């Protein structure tokens, strides 16, 4: 994939690993269903206010590859 195509694809994403979990919960409630399917219950976690999606998923033992897959699925869900 060419660099321009990759940049265009990245710019259409709404959800990133660096996004705070609390922001995700407020802005994209549909994405929360995917986290629940993965066994991640962010709604009741105190870490949601200060952890990124990437940090939270890694803390639950998700690999970098799995984290990227989850983020991709969340972006599809909110598109």
Q: Determine the pLDDT at residue 6.
A: 46
Residue 1 lies in a domain: no
Residue 54 lies in a domain: yes
Residue 32 lies in a domain: yes
Q: Determine the pLDDT at residue 42.
A: 67
pLDDT in tens, the chain (79 residues): 455 544 445 556 899 999 999 899 899 988 988 988 988 876 667 777 789 999 999 999 999 999 999 999 999 999 8
Q: Determine the pLDDT at residue 76.
A: 95
Q: Determine the pLDDT at residue 50.
A: 86
Burial pattern 17-55, b for ≥16 Cβ within 10 A else e, equals bebbbeebbeebeebbebbeebebebeebeebeebbbbb
Count of domains in the chain? 1
Residue 30 lies in a domain: yes
Domain containing 74: what range?
Answer: 15-78
Q: Determine the pLDDT at residue 78.
A: 93
């Amino acid at each position: 994939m060419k660099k321009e195509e990759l940049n265009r694809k990245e710019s259409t994403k709404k959800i990133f690993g660096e996004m705070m979990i609390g922001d995700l919960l407020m802005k994209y409630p549909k994405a929360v269903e995917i986290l629940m399917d993965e066994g991640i219950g962010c709604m009741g976690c105190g870490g949601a206010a200060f952890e990124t999606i990437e940090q939270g998923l890694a803390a639950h033992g998700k690999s970098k590859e799995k984290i990227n897959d989850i983020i991709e699925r969340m972006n599809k869900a909110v598109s």
